[in-house]
Amino acid sequence: MDEWRGWPKIQFESEMDPSFADEIASIPGGDKLFSCIQCGTCSGMCPLSPCMDYTPRQIIAMIRAGSRGKVLASRTTWLCASCYACSVECPKEIKITDIMYAAKRLAIREGAYPRHFGIPILANEFFKAVEKYGRSTESWLTVWLFLKSDPIQFFKFAGLGARLFLKGRIGAKRDSVKRRGELRSVLKVLEKEHMIKSKRELASAGKEVV
């Protein structure tokens, strides 16, 4: 009914999550989010905004409005290549890139990220490899990326891979740190730590949570 004749789905206030903005703003320096004047400088600076489902300016507005589901499922946050052009230009000094990261982390934690989309898959594979070996090996990373996202791509890239191999710029050897145990014990301590405060933590800090 809502998408009748191409009208966008209207979100009513009752469908919004009013504590979403506080969650995102709980990252260090994140409270600047509330000073956004919606000037659109971020969207103008962003080299990828023409390809995004929502522009960075829209994402900021949606976070403040509490459009939790749409933001976490959007491709925008993942398309952000972290070039920091928006953060540098923002007249209100909002760390937009870090807000994108916060949304990505929430989406991963809650499993809300877009499926069959290469970018979160790459992030996950990269994370797993570094967790285990302490270093990333580009050849293995790309193999896993293609197998898990789009196996056809694997064949498209085979030629490039072969050229890189012949030029000595890619190899099959796994790169790894020597003291893997040491690294693992460092990371293990932070297993359950997150910089974004959960709704329960926000509530205990006295923020109004619905």
Partner 1 sequence: MNYLYYPGCSSSSTGRPYEESLLEVFKKLDVPVSELEDWNCCGATAYMAISELKAFALCARNFALAERQSESTGATDMMVPCAACYLGLNKAQRYLHDHAEIREKVKDALDAAGLEYQGRVRVRHPLDIIVNDIGIDRVTSLVSRPLEGYRVACYYGCQIIRPYADFDDQHNPTSMERIIKALGAEVVDWPLKTRCCGGSLTGTAQDLGLRLSKMLLDEASRRGCNVVATACPLCQFNLECYQPQISRRFGKTVDVPVAFFTQLMGMAFGLGRRELGLQRLFVPLRDPSREKVAAGGSHVTK
Q: Can residue 110 be called a binding residue for partner 1 (CB under 8 A)?
A: no
Tokens of 32: 């600047």
User: Taking the CB of residue 197, how many other CB atoms lie within 10 A of it?
Assistant: 20
Residue 167 binds partner 1, judged by CB under 8 A: yes
Q: Does 53 bind partner 1 (CB under 8 A)?
A: no
Contact yes or no for 91/33 (Cβ under 8 A)? no
Beta strand extents in the chain (DSSP E only): none
Is 115 a binding residue for partner 1 by CB under 8 A? The answer is: no
For the bound state, the minimum distance from the C-beta of residue 115 to partner 1, rounded and expressed in Å, comes to 14
Burial label for 193, CB within 10 Å (0-12, 13-18, 19+), is exposed
Give min distance, CB of 92 to partner 1, in A: 15
Q: Which of 193, 200, 206, 208 binds partner 1 (CB under 8 A)?
A: 193
Shortest distance (Å) from residue 93 CB to partner 1: 10
Q: Which residues of 42-54 are buried (b: 16+ CB within 10 A; e: fewer)?
A: bbebbeebeebeb
Residue 188 contacts partner 1 per CB under 8 A: yes
Closest contact distance (angstroms) between CB of 7 and partner 1 is: 28
Exactly one of 37, 92, 127, 162 binds partner 1 (CB under 8 A); that residue is 127
CA–CA separation, 210 vs 4, rounded Å? 31
Nearest-angstrom CA–CA distance, 127 and 102? 16
Map residue 53 onto helix, strand or coil. coil
Q: Is 87 in the site for partner 1 (CB under 8 A)?
A: yes
Binding site for partner 1 (CB under 8 A): 27-28, 47-48, 51, 78-79, 81-85, 87-88, 97, 101, 104-105, 108, 117-124, 126-127, 130, 134-139, 142, 145, 149, 153, 157, 160, 163-164, 167-171, 175, 177-179, 182-183, 185-190, 193-195
